[in-house]
């Protein structure tokens, strides 16, 4: 989908900012129903000394503050890697409508890789999920980062 490709490009740009700051290169963009960007963020747990400062959580916090509401219905979150359990939980709590991610995360992914939380019938909200948008670019960014660290 053209729109998904576009917004993932914005998430990739945010991920590159994380990389430049010495953080794991993950970026996120939250888009509103009208296609406007409500928030953008990148991983910042090192800079903020905050283990919850994942790109997804920071984007949700920013958008909620901007809109004056902790619920974000009708929104779509674009993130460069499949979210972890914490981030999927935050997306569900915020009532985000849709999640679009780039690369799957076989070590911590909570959408398709290790868990399938967005579709768990025991939870009070379902999250539509689309994966694999600009997957190669997202995966390469992470692999290059970790290759350089080793």
- DSSP string covering 36-68, please? -EEEEEE--HHHHT-TT--HHHHHHHHHHHHHT
Of the candidates 56, 119, 128, 140, the residue annotated as catalytic is 56
Assess contact for 60 and 28: CB atoms under 8 A: no
Q: What are phi and psi of 104, to 5 degrees?
A: -70, 155
The helix or strand, by DSSP H or E, that contains position 146, with its residue range, turns out to be helix 135-149
Q: Could you give the CA distance from residue 49 to residue 70 in angstroms, rounded to a whole number?
A: 23
Concerning whether 56 is annotated as a catalytic residue, the answer is yes
Q: What are phi and psi of 71, to 5 degrees?
A: -95, 135
Catalytic residue numbers, as ranges: 56
């Amino acid at each position: 989908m053209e729109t998904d490709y576009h917004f993932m490009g914005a998430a990739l740009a945010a991920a590159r900012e994380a990389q430049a700051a010495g953080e794991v290169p993950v970026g996120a963009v939250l888009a509103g129903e009208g296609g406007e960007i409500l928030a953008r963020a990148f991983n910042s747990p090192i800079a903020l000394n905050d283990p919850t400062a994942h790109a997804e959580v920071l984007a949700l916090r920013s958008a909620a503050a901007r809109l004056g509401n902790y619920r974000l219905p009708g929104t779509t979150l674009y993130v460069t890697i499949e979210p972890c359990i914490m981030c999927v939980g935050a997306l569900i709590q915020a009532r985000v409508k849709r999640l679009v991610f780039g690369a799957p995360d076989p070590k911590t992914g909570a959408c398709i890789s290790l868990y399938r939380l967005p579709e768990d019938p025991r939870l009070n909200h379902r999250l539509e999920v689309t994966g694999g948008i600009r997957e190669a670019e997202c995966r390469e960014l992470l692999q290059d980062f970790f290759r350089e660290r080793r």
